[in-house]
Structure 1
Amino acid sequence: MVPELKLKVQHILLIIGMGLLFGLLYNFLYYPHTFTEYAEAGSISLLIGLMVGILEEFVFKKLFQSIRFLFVLLIRTLIYSLLTSVILSFVLSFETASVENISYMGAVKEYLAGPLFERDFLFSFSFILLMLFITEVILLIGRANFLRLILGLYHQPHEISRIFMFLDLKGSTTIAEKLSNKTFSAFIRDYFFDISDAIMMFKGEIYQYAGDGVIVVWPLGSNNDNCIRSFYKMVEIIERKRKIYLVKYGVVPQFKAGIHTGKVIVTSVGKLKKEIVYHGDVLNTTSRIEGKCSELNQDLLVSGDMLSCIKHADDLAVEEKGEIELKGKRNKLRLYGIKLVSQHSAAVLRPQLY
């Protein structure tokens, strides 16, 4: 399955799972002793979850990107609640028409005018509002961080091994000078939005947005080349949307990255605002590696430590750049440029301003 489609399917399945939870909770509260009602509620919930999942992934994902959070939350909740109530009205009215021997439309009118519609709508609205709010919080701080904060995993400092990527936009100062502040902000938002799928596809986690840069983190494990493949998936996605960027902004985002790995301390900090942070020299070193990309004419540089963690793959071309002195570091560090063989001839052009 195509990675982009696989990611969307995973998100839709997650929403379907939430829909099933909605159906079970609804049935438990209102029909706790009837098994057939549970089966029926499960079927209805699957349908509702599927419809909501498709709308979220293919309609609303970018449609409301620049609209205020609270307004978007209420609009989506209202739409999904009405959709749920309509589906429930058709299903429940069919049963009422059969039992009471009345016309189907008569049963629909009876349901809409009765207390059941109000009950079902309020239940749907409350559940969906909570579900969407939690989803937005997860998007804000990251799924992994959300679970860690809920479980209290990092209230005390822990030492762990992680892979870090520092991703930086090329020519950002020049682009900012050519565009207005508002247009440049929209450009950055679109750029961050478009590369996010490439990060999620390859199991990365956005640690921080820093101006026009992004810090991405991966656990150290069996698929350590995910960071490399994620970078080139970003290149592919942006190149695919090249014409859109040129029409909208007159410039295509180009970027460079440094990747390094090592041990860091992870802990939660803050009183007014809780945040999970990483402390250690690895982050500073990764930043310095990224800073050498322009000097060494490379889009992607990795450290020797990082390269030693990556399994040999025929589609990865490695070029040694030698031992390089990094600013603020005593010892030189051996750096390597890495390219996907299939993309040697698809080098991304530098920003073109019109």
Structure 2
Amino acid sequence: MKWKKNFRDWLFVVSAWITASLCITAIGMFFQDLQFRFLEIFPTKENQKFIEYFSSGFQYIEGALFGFLFGTVFYFVYWLTENTSLRNKSFGRLMFIKTSLYLVGFVLTFFIVFAFLLTLDFTPVRGVKDMIQTFSSWTFYAAFGTFLTLFTIIINFILEVSKKYGPGNLWNMFMGKYHHPVIEHRIFMFLDLKDSTTYAEKLGHIKYSNLIQKCFLYLNEIVFDHNAQIYQYVGDEAVLTWDSSDLEARKLSIELFFAFQKKLASKADKFEKEFGFVPEFKAGINEGAVTAAEVGYIKRDIAYHGDVLNTGARIQDKCNELGKSLLVSEVFAEQIKSLNLFKQELLGEVALKGKKDALNIYAIEPIT
């Protein structure tokens, strides 16, 4: 699933830069045409090649090629800072690194495109004199500097906001889908650290917070692989959600839990060395109809309300008591019976805090 998101992000970035490059090309050609018209520039041996170039439309090929190549470089820098140890840098350092890489990529892309057009004889710039005249102009640097800065900010903003709200939700918020409450059918997983109180007392505030940071960092590494959206972080608990209309959502939600267990186990040596133990998580899953609405003004977000969430949280609370790591509601369990990919164990009716009637709870384990 992660490759699909990566491809969508790359396609968005490349499309955005191609569009931006074509727009700036069109604006440049418009003002160039005005210059030819109103300054009464007559063809000479020196400027004839430039006049022919600006009337040929080759600039649009140059713009599209530049947009494609730099868009790819731009996405690579974004991917690099999201999927390597660079993401652990402070915000200020990360911005400096990204800006430096964007600048280097911009310059390299520009010269690659220039060399390509020069090889195909598409550009009017021929000799060293033409190159010096072009690259020594302050308007050249002002135009491209403004272009790079403006669209870098816009595209980065869209990528970051999309990452915060989850795939597709930025467009939904832009279109006002959640401006008024709507009903959605969703799956929710409440993922919580086992024995959190004991660990917090043992480690102290700072080291315990560092533990939670590392755990959720590893969780983030597998979220997109399982098409999940992180709804909230609440202390040492993470709440994840899926659209239940996705036919694979239920399978992916369970697979995410076991993948997270394996991810933590694979880092056992690091956890033992730094904290003296390997953290384990428990989870409760429930699904059903919830109300989704845009809330807040200063800190705007999409909030989900309904008994589905309350019940899911209460199911997760029973993990320690029942000695299980993953518990699900009967509603959810009924939907995954046909999968035959996981072992289901009916634990019977369990009284949940705040619920009038007891509910059937199932434990889920991988088939060994």
TM range (shorter): 0.7 to 0.9
1:187 Cα deviation after fit? 2.4
RMSD between aligned alpha carbons? 2.7
Question: In the alignment, residue 25 of structure 1 is paired with which amino acid?
Answer: C
Question: Which residue of structure 1 lines up, in the alignment, with residue 178 of structure 2?
Answer: 154
Q: Which moved more, 1:135-144 or 1:90-99?
A: 90-99
Q: Which moved more, 1:54-63 or 1:199-208?
A: 54-63
The answer (yes or no) to whether the contact 2:62–2:113 under 8 Å persists in 1 is: no
Question: Which residue of structure 2 lines up, in the alignment, with residue 113 of structure 1?
Answer: 136
Q: Which moved more, 1:32-41 or 1:50-59?
A: 32-41
Q: Which moved more, 1:265-274 or 1:203-212?
A: 265-274
The answer (yes or no) to whether the contact 2:294–2:302 under 8 Å persists in 1 is: yes
1:329 Cα deviation after fit? 1.1
- Give yes or no for the alignment of 1:49 onto 2:87: no
Separation in 1 of the partners of 2:108 and 2:279? 44
The answer (yes or no) to whether the contact 1:163–1:259 under 8 Å persists in 2 is: yes
- Give yes or no for the alignment of 1:186 onto 2:210: yes
| Structure 2: segments with no counterpart, 5+ residues | 31-54
1:100 Cα deviation after fit? 4.5
Q: Deviations over 1:284-326 (max 9, x none)?
A: 1101100111111211111110112225223211111111111
* Structure 1 pair 95–15 and aligned structure 2 pair: CA distance change class (3 A): closer
Separation in 1 of the partners of 2:335 and 2:67? 44
Question: Which residue of structure 2 lines up, in the alignment, with residue 302 of structure 1?
Answer: 328
Question: In the alignment, residue 208 of structure 1 is paired with which amino acid?
Answer: Q
The answer (yes or no) to whether the contact 1:111–1:117 under 8 Å persists in 2 is: no
1:108 Cα deviation after fit? 5.4
Alignment of 1:158-307 (within 5 A): 158-221=182-245, 222-223=247-248, 224-307=250-333
Separation in 2 of the partners of 1:5 and 1:237? 19
Q: Which moved more, 1:197-206 or 1:135-144?
A: 135-144
Separation in 2 of the partners of 1:136 and 1:265? 25
1:170 Cα deviation after fit? 1.3
Question: In the alignment, residue 178 of structure 1 is paired with which amino acid?
Answer: K
Higher Cα Rg, which structure? 2
Question: Which residue of structure 2 lines up, in the alignment, with residue 352 of structure 1?
Answer: none
1:337 Cα deviation after fit? 1.1
Question: Which residue of structure 2 lines up, in the alignment, with residue 312 of structure 1?
Answer: 338
* Structure 1 pair 173–290 and aligned structure 2 pair: CA distance change class (3 A): same
- 1:140 aligns to what SS in structure 2? helix
Question: Which residue of structure 1 lines up, in the alignment, with residue 38 of structure 2?
Answer: none
Q: Deviations over 1:255-292 (max 9, x none)?
A: 11000112212112223322221111111110110011
1:6 Cα deviation after fit? 5.2
Q: Which moved more, 1:160-169 or 1:10-19?
A: 10-19
Q: Which moved more, 1:182-191 or 1:282-291?
A: 182-191
The answer (yes or no) to whether the contact 1:164–1:261 under 8 Å persists in 2 is: yes
Separation in 1 of the partners of 2:147 and 2:135? 15
The answer (yes or no) to whether the contact 1:167–1:213 under 8 Å persists in 2 is: yes
Q: Which moved more, 1:152-161 or 1:305-314?
A: 305-314
1:331 Cα deviation after fit? 0.9
The answer (yes or no) to whether the contact 1:74–1:129 under 8 Å persists in 2 is: no
The answer (yes or no) to whether the contact 1:82–1:121 under 8 Å persists in 2 is: no
Question: Which residue of structure 2 lines up, in the alignment, with residue 23 of structure 1?
Answer: 21
* Structure 1 pair 253–29 and aligned structure 2 pair: CA distance change class (3 A): farther
Separation in 2 of the partners of 1:42 and 1:247? 52
TM-score by length of 1: 0.84
Separation in 2 of the partners of 1:58 and 1:182? 28
Separation in 2 of the partners of 1:74 and 1:129? 13
The answer (yes or no) to whether the contact 1:301–1:336 under 8 Å persists in 2 is: yes
- 1:317 aligns to what SS in structure 2? strand
- Give yes or no for the alignment of 1:81 onto 2:103: yes
Q: Deviations over 1:137-169 (max 9, x none)?
A: 222333443222211111112222211111101
- Give yes or no for the alignment of 1:134 onto 2:158: yes
- Give yes or no for the alignment of 1:340 onto 2:340: no
TM-score by length of 2: 0.81
* Structure 1 pair 235–7 and aligned structure 2 pair: CA distance change class (3 A): farther
The answer (yes or no) to whether the contact 1:166–1:257 under 8 Å persists in 2 is: yes
The answer (yes or no) to whether the contact 2:80–2:86 under 8 Å persists in 1 is: no
Work out the number of aligned pairs and report it.
Answer: 338
- Give yes or no for the alignment of 1:122 onto 2:146: yes
Question: Which residue of structure 2 lines up, in the alignment, with residue 328 of structure 1?
Answer: 354
Question: Which residue of structure 2 lines up, in the alignment, with residue 350 of structure 1?
Answer: none
Q: Which moved more, 1:239-248 or 1:219-228?
A: 239-248
| Structure 1: segments with no counterpart, 5+ residues | 345-354
* Structure 1 pair 18–174 and aligned structure 2 pair: CA distance change class (3 A): farther
Question: In the alignment, residue 176 of structure 1 is paired with which amino acid?
Answer: A
